Amino acid sequence: MGAGLTPGQTSAPMDLKARAAGAKQWLASMMLPATVRNWVGAAIDASGDGDDAATARALGHLFPLVAQQLDPASLAEMKDLIIELAHDSTEFEVP
């Protein structure tokens, strides 16, 4: 969903909200630690609002929580997405 906020991929606001609603339903069916669930939910909400910096911030907080479960290629892809969405933000440190 965050990739949908990158240049050239931006969706219409209604599409972002619909995708976020579907993702929230999916998230409700998953058994995840509370901290992971909270940051995934924050990323879903931010992407549904079209807020790329808030999506990057949420993914940045999620990154260390999932680092042990993801392979190196997935981590690199996630980090690249965070950097792209952050737009050189100084609000938080990109992992």
What does the pLDDT look like over 25-57, one tens digit per residue?
A: 988 999 999 999 999 999 999 988 888 889 999
Domain boundaries in the chain?
A: 2-86
> Are 58 and 43 in contact, with CB atoms under 8 Å apart?
yes
Residue 29 confidence (pLDDT): 92
Cα-flanking dihedrals φ and ψ of residue 91, to 5°? -70, -25
Residues 5-17 have pLDDT tens digits of 666 666 677 788 8
Residue 85 confidence (pLDDT): 87
Which residues have a Cβ under 8 Å from the Cβ of 44 and sit 6 or more positions away? 1, 20, 23, 24, 27
Query: In whole numbers, what is the pLDDT of the chain averaged over residues?
Result: 85
